Each structure stands twice: as structure tokens, then as C-alpha cells.
Structure 1
């Protein structure tokens, strides 16, 4: 009887193993490819001032948002990196991982959607787990003129 256990165990393993499921032709026909989905959910924004430029590219998936962000501000270090966060109401709240002068850093960024475009909110920062974050997201200042307006992504 003990000799039968390994055989039964082996048979159960073989029965439970199946080849990976292939998509049916119907699933393939009605499932958009990832390139097409990314095109639909990708938007680009730009601010160009007299001596300042800011570029934002977003990829939205439900309430999750990823993308790139680049600052070229007069008399400040240029930096560029990625955002990863969420959309809440009319705001983007994201962690910005960027490189400036060869060093990688992180900080929280908050953008509010206005009729003219996205405006970054500024306020008191505090450090949480080594990352600067807004102390009070509901009390940010959006009174500046730096508005990121929508542009075709081909222009970036």
C-alpha cells in the first residue's frame, strides 16, 4: 500500500498540470493591444514661460497615474524623472522620482486640474520615511501663473 502513495501523488500532479490557456480568437479580436491602450490613455502637457519650461506626460489607468515630469527653471538645477501616483477628484497626487545633477531624489508633487490646465500646488512640506510630502494637501497654493496646458504628445 505504501508503494501506491507515490504513484497516486504523481498521477494527481500530472492531472492537475495543464498547458497555459491560449486566448480564443474572439478574445484576441476584442482585446486592444497594449500600444493602442497606451495611446488612448496618454496625455501631454507643457508650460513655457519667458525662461522656464515644464513638461508632463501622463498615463492613466483608472485612478492610477504614471508618467514623466521635467523641469527646466531659470537659475535652478534642471531635473527630470517619473511620477507614480493617483488621481483624486481633480488632483494628481504622485511621488516624483527624479535626477538632478547626477543625484536621484524623491518628493511628492500635487497638481490641480483647472480650466486652463494643470497647476502645481505648493505648501509646507514635511518628511515622511525620508521623502518630502505636502503637510496638508487641502491647503496648497495654486496662485502662480505656471499652467501646464495640453499639447499633442508628438510635440514633446
Structure 2
């Protein structure tokens, strides 16, 4: 009886802790332990002068979801949640950003090079209430550069 209560308590504790949707709370998934790991937490950061960008995400297979925040000097802070998919070395995602006064949905594309994520840039259009790249095949990877960091 004591053994089954202990087992139930361990399982309940695991389930309760896994229900937290905040990716920063997945400490058990903090690092990829081997190439066979298909689910792990990954974090990227960019700090340049007075600008900061932070990404905290959960990778599962070729899918990714997490949070992304932009704190740019003398501009509204943008925080959002995103989901996306890896296509080779390219991350294509949709992010819902919330500022102090509005909410927007935007397509994001990043190029992964070793431990870096380079944000794509290009002409945007509004389509079905979302901001998307006008010509995704012409995205230039000359935007912000985020470096892989330890998740906190």
C-alpha cells in the first residue's frame, strides 16, 4: 500500500509539473543529453547595446514552441509565444506578440548556423490578419543574430 501511494504521488507530481506551459519551467529538459534526445529545452539570446532579444523554446522532433521577447531601446517591449517547425536548417514560425496596447500575429523565419539563429528579413504583407513575408523564398538572413545560451 505504501509503495503504491509513493508511486501515485511521484506520477501526480510529474503530471502537475508538466502541465506548466511556461517553457522556462522545464528544468528537466534543460539540455539535450545526446543526439537521440527528441525533446529538449533550447534558449537563444541577443544583447546589443541597449537591445535585448530572448528566446526560450521546447524542441520536440522537428517542431518547436516557446516564448520570444524583444526589448528594444526606446520602443515598446514585445513579448510573444510562438510555434513552428524546422525545415533542415531553417526555422519557420508564427508568433503572437503582445505589447502594452495591441496584439499581432507575425511570421518569423530564422536560419540556424551551428549555435546561432539569424533572423530573416524581407518585405512583409498582411494576409488574413497576420503579418507574413511577401516572398518567403527571398528572405535575407541579415537580421538579428541570437546565440545559444544555457536555459535558466
Q: TM-score normalized by structure 2?
A: 0.72
**Offset at residue 120 of structure 1 (A):** 0.6
1:5-16 mapped onto 2 (5 Å cutoff): none
Tell me, yes or no, if the aligned pair for 2:119 and 2:142 is still in contact at 8 Å.
no
CA displacement at 1:143 relative to structure 2? 2.2
Q: Is the 8 A contact 1:127 1:133 kept in 2?
A: yes
1:99 paired to 2:98: yes
CA contact (8 A) 1:116 1:147 kept: no
2:70 aligned partner: 71
* Cα-Cα RMSD: 2.3
**1:82 shift after superposition:** 0.5
Partners of 2:73 and 2:65 in 1: CA distance: 26
Gaps in structure 2 of 5+ consecutive residues: 1-6, 8-13, 19-25, 32-39
**Contact (CA 8 Å) 2:85, 2:93: kept in 1 or not?**
yes
Q: TM-score, normalised by structure 1?
A: 0.70
Count of residues in correspondence between the two structures: 124
Equivalent position of 1:17 in the other structure: none
Structure 1 unaligned regions, length at least 5: 1-24, 26-31
Equivalent positions of 1:6-155 (< 5 A) are: 38-40=29-31, 41-115=40-114, 117-144=116-143, 146-154=144-152
